[in-house]
Structure formats: C-alpha cells, structure tokens
Amino acid sequence: MYLYNSATHKKEEFKTHTPGRVEMYTCGPTVYHFAHIGNLRSYIMEDVLEKFLRYTGYDVNRVMNITDVGHLTSDADEGEDKMVKGAKRENKTVMDIAKFYTDAFFEDCRKLNIKRPDVVEPATNCIDDYIKIVSTLIEKEYAYLAGGNVYFDSSKLSRYYVFNDHDEEDLAVGVREGVEEDTNKRNKNDFVLWFTKSKFEDQALKWDSPWGVGYPGWHIECTGISLKHNGEYLDLHCGGVDNAFPHHTNEIAQSESYLGHEWCPHWLHVAHLNTAGGKMSKSKGEFLTVSLLEEKGYDPIVYRYFCLQSHYRKALVFSYENLDNAAAAFNKLVNRIAGLKPEGEVDQAVFAEYREKFVKQMSNDLNTSMGVTAIFDVLKAKTTDATKLAILDDYDKVLSLDLVKKAEARRAEQAKAKTAETECGYTVTGEGDPAIDALVLARYEAKKAKNFAEADRIRDELKAAGIEIVDTKGGASWKRV
C-alpha cells in the first residue's frame, strides 16, 4: 500500500514498526459545538483508511482524543478557550457542554457509518500524563518557565517546520491572523505546554501542578493520549490539513524531544471542504451540519458518497447542486443494484479477481474515487447476480455505503408496490420510486371515487415535483422531466 506522507511530500510504501500491526492516531473534535460537515469529511476519509487497513489484513489500534480543555480560539496560544466560549454561549457548565457535543459527534458518525475508534479518550482524563511529559521536557531543557506558564523551547530543535519550510517573516507576530505577541516567549515559535496565570481568570477547569494551578496546552493532549494508548512508536497520524501547523508540528516537537527518538514516520492530512466563499467554518455562512442536511431531505450516506467521489488530498467544493447530483447518482446506483436477483452460486474466482482489483485501486493513496468506480465495474461484469452482490457487499466493508442493504429494501418496496397494483388491476410504470408510484396509484383511486379535486391536487403536486404522468390502458406511466 502506498500513501502520501505529508512529512516527506511524496507517496511512500506504508510500513509499520511492528509487522502486521498499525498504531493509528486521529485528532478528535473540540466538543464545544456541533461538528460541521467539513470536519466530518476528515473523519469519513480516516474511517475508510482504517477499514481498508483492516480489510487488507492489518491489526489496527486506532486512538482518538476528545478535546474538552485547552484549545484556544486562535489554534495557537491566544484567545479564549473554546470550551469556555461554548459554555458561556449556552449558559451551561463546560462538562455539560462536553458531554452533549461528544454525544452529538458520535451520533453524526453513526449516521455517516463512521466506526467508533478503539480508544476514545477525553483530554481531561490524562492530566497526570501531561504533567509527567512536561516535567521531563523541563529536565531535558526543552522547556522553560516564564510568566507562570511552561513553554516549549523551539530553538533547541535542529528542524522545527516538519511539514513545510516557512520563512521567518511568514510567522512574524501580527502577520498570521489570530496571533498576538506573548512577551513570555523566548522565540516566536515557542508554544505553551501548561498555562497558569496568563489564562487563569476565565478558565473553568484547572488542576494542581508543580508549576501552579492551571491547565494543559492544546498540543500536549495528543502527545499524552497517544503515548498512553499507542505506545512510544506511532505508525500513522491523521487529521485535517489545517492541523498540520501549528498543532501537528508542535506534537512532533514535544513528542520526539520527550522520547529521544522518531515518534511517527507517516502523516496523512485530509484537504478542506470548501464552499463558494472559501473554507467552511462554524463562524461564517450557513452552519452546515448532518442534522441540517437531514432536515433538507438528504440521506447522510449520500454525503459520504459525495466525499468518496473525490480524493482526500483534493479540496472538495460543497454546494447543494453538487450534493443533489451525488444524491441522483446514488439513487440510480441503488436502483441498478436492486435490479440484481440474489439467486444462484457465487463464482469464487470472479470474486477473488475483483477483490484484488479493488485492493490495487485503493492501495494507490486511498483512491476512493477509483473505489467508487470499482462498484460500476462490478455491475458491468459478465458474471452471476449473486457474485456481483457478494463482491459489492465485500467492498462495503471499506466504503460503508450500505448499497446492498439499501437495494434489498428498495427491491422489497418495489415488490410490495407491484402487489398492490396487481390487486386493484391498475399498473403503474415508472422509474422505480415507490413514493411516486403510491401517489400515482392514489390519484387513480381518487378518480375512481369521483373525487376529482383530490385527483387534480395529486397531479399538480407531482407536476410541481417534475413528474409527468401519462394514462395508459389499465394504468399509468410516469417519468421525471
């Protein structure tokens, strides 16, 4: 398997510290608000990656943090703690906010068929781990105390910028949005490991430490949680591309300084989901959540399908028009699979051939767009329907689109509708949508009962939805126009 490595800027053969075992870490959500669908794009792609690793025989231990303290609004060391901000917004405690939005996040994941990681650890559970790491960094002179806080000393590193080499001017104080001067820092790239006095007044959560009452910085969380649950050698670290700097850069700095050896050789970053106005965020434009998509009539799995049609390293542009196109394509795909008859024997040779093709396509840097194309290749294959259904069901262990399951439900609906039509001697011919079939049948029943006003109302409703009805001998046919 070859994956693009953000640390080396090239595709590399994926190798692990322990053969056959993957220690995988995913940066989890900061649970101060609902996740927007841009956040969830990253989790969808990371979910596919984990499932594909398992599909190809790896034993995977995937760990995710839940940030419930320490993440400031600038993603650096300035601004208000996001959890405090969320608690003030809703007039609740930080822990109430954390529980509510953690539950909401995993409910969104359930709707999107995202598997829950093997380990999910809230940041507030590991305070002793952070204190141990920070203490060691101070002893090794990679950290220093100033103004009541503990800072990591970036000047001790031979190379700080791991993912991109920046000019010093690019990160000058006041140039990068959201960064203000912290006069306690020795170097502009230094970052806080433990906050005390400088951010103490508004902080709801605080703990005793050797340096005073305070709370951990955001970056130390992931190091502490990963070391606790993945061990000293991490194989694969994932996150959104916006996490690469400063968050992942700082994770590497503190982790390798603490351990004294390379920590994680392979980094995978998922590109942004953009709107016409640019990068999606919670603070501008419509706040796009899974619940909002559902309110507008979209199946969340259609959003997953929309994401899988693009490569994870390509920025993806969201619009309702694009989502409508994905929904139409997905619906046609389900209809085609519903047309397969689950009868006969599975041709094991053909099954093995198509499984091998799928692995080859997906092994090229998690190419999900080719994974989706593989579905259509199966439908065109010269083999039995039973074999096609078995292959598609196998692919779904990775893609998790519920295609066979949805097709079975569609087939059952169609069979039920046909039975109803036959019983009343009236045949509806359409495009395989039971809801439309039912309305056309209801129009016929209204006309038969001489309730012409109701029949006209149903006709107008269908016309407004772009459905054209043509009455035929003994029934009616309909089509979308």
The verdict on residue 472 lying in a domain is yes
Q: Which of 173-177, 272-276, 315-319 has the lowest mean pLDDT?
A: 173-177
In terms of pLDDT, which residue wins out, 186 or 429?
186
DSSP strand pairing (2-5 vs 143-146): unpaired
Cβ atoms of 98 and 176 within 8 Å: the answer is no
Domain boundary among 224, 240, 270: 270
Residues 377 and 358: their CA atoms lie apart, in Å, by: 10
- pLDDT greater than 50 at residue 174: no
- The reply to whether 261 and 299 lie within a common domain is no
Domain boundary among 378, 405, 432: 405
Confidence of residue 476 (pLDDT cuts 50, 70, 90): confident
Task: Quote the pTM value.
Answer: 0.84
- The reply to whether 386 and 433 lie within a common domain is no
Give residue 196's pLDDT. Answer: 87
- The reply to whether 61 and 150 lie within a common domain is yes
- pLDDT greater than 60 at residue 454: yes
- The reply to whether 371 and 309 lie within a common domain is yes
Give residue 473's pLDDT. Answer: 82
CATH of the domain at 215: 3.40.50.620
Give residue 178's pLDDT. Answer: 40
Name residues whose C-beta falls within 8 Å of residue 351's C-beta, 6 or more positions apart in sequence.
Answer: 387, 390, 391, 394
Q: Which two tokens stand for residue 152?
A: 């990591």
- pLDDT greater than 70 at residue 260: yes
Residues 400 and 47: their CA atoms lie apart, in Å, by: 9
Q: Which of 20-24, 56-60, 459-463 has the lowest mean pLDDT?
A: 459-463
Three-class secondary structure of residue 433 per DSSP? coil
Residues 131 and 193: their CA atoms lie apart, in Å, by: 9
Q: Pick the closest to residue 305 from 371, 246, 404, 216 (CA basis).
A: 371
Q: Pick the closest to residue 252 from 264, 238, 266, 268 (CA basis).
A: 264
Give the H or E element holding residue 422: helix 403-423
Give residue 83's pLDDT. Answer: 77
Torsion of CA 228, 230, 231, 235, to 10 degrees: -150
The verdict on residue 414 lying in a domain is no
Average pLDDT over residues 280-294: 81
- The reply to whether 428 and 401 lie within a common domain is no
What percent of the chain stands above pLDDT 70? 89
Q: Angle 45-326-282 (CA atoms, 0-180°, nearest 5)?
A: 55
- The reply to whether 68 and 194 lie within a common domain is yes
Give residue 419's pLDDT. Answer: 62
Q: Which of 1-5, 194-198, 221-225, 266-270 has the lowest mean pLDDT?
A: 194-198
- pLDDT greater than 90 at residue 74: no
Residues 116 and 77: their CA atoms lie apart, in Å, by: 30
Name residues whose C-beta falls within 8 Å of residue 453's C-beta, 6 or more positions apart in sequence.
Answer: none
Three-class secondary structure of residue 2 per DSSP? strand
Average pLDDT over residues 308-332: 95
Q: How far are the Cα atoms of 57, 122, 149, 230 from residue 213, in angstroms, in the given order?
A: 47, 20, 10, 29
The verdict on residue 275 lying in a domain is no
Give residue 180's pLDDT. Answer: 55
Average pLDDT over residues 442-459: 90
Q: What is the per-residue pLDDT across 40-67, written as a single tens digit (0 to 9) for each?
A: 999 999 999 999 999 999 999 999 999 9
How does the average pLDDT of the chain come out, rounded?
89
Q: Which of 60-64, 186-190, 369-373 has the lowest mean pLDDT?
A: 186-190
Confidence of residue 315 (pLDDT cuts 50, 70, 90): very high
- The reply to whether 149 and 266 lie within a common domain is yes
- pLDDT greater than 70 at residue 233: yes
Confidence of residue 343 (pLDDT cuts 50, 70, 90): confident
Q: Pick the closest to residue 350 from 403, 389, 400, 376 (CA basis).
A: 389
- The reply to whether 239 and 190 lie within a common domain is yes
Three-class secondary structure of residue 91 per DSSP? coil
- The reply to whether 389 and 428 lie within a common domain is no
- pLDDT greater than 70 at residue 347: yes
Q: What is the per-residue pLDDT across 393-419, written as a single tens digit (0 to 9) for each?
A: 999 999 999 999 999 988 887 776 666
Cβ atoms of 42 and 313 within 8 Å: the answer is no
The verdict on residue 279 lying in a domain is no
Cβ atoms of 256 and 263 within 8 Å: the answer is yes
User: Which of 127-148 are b and which e, b meaning 16 or more Cβ less than 10 Å from the residue's Cβ?
Assistant: bebbbebbbebbeeebbbbeeb
Give residue 167's pLDDT. Answer: 42
Structural domain including 448 reads 424-480
- pLDDT greater than 60 at residue 341: yes
The verdict on residue 84 lying in a domain is yes
The verdict on residue 151 lying in a domain is yes
Q: What's the domain count of the chain? A: 3
The verdict on residue 98 lying in a domain is yes
CATH of the domain at 396: 1.20.120.1910
Cβ atoms of 171 and 189 within 8 Å: the answer is yes
Q: Which of 132-141, 270-279, 287-296 has the lowest mean pLDDT?
A: 270-279
Domain boundary among 405, 434, 464: 405
Confidence of residue 422 (pLDDT cuts 50, 70, 90): low
The verdict on residue 412 lying in a domain is no
Average pLDDT over residues 303-332: 96
- The reply to whether 241 and 153 lie within a common domain is yes
In terms of pLDDT, which residue wins out, 198 or 82?
82
- The reply to whether 332 and 391 lie within a common domain is yes
- The reply to whether 54 and 85 lie within a common domain is yes
Give the H or E element holding residue 415: helix 403-423
Confidence of residue 319 (pLDDT cuts 50, 70, 90): very high
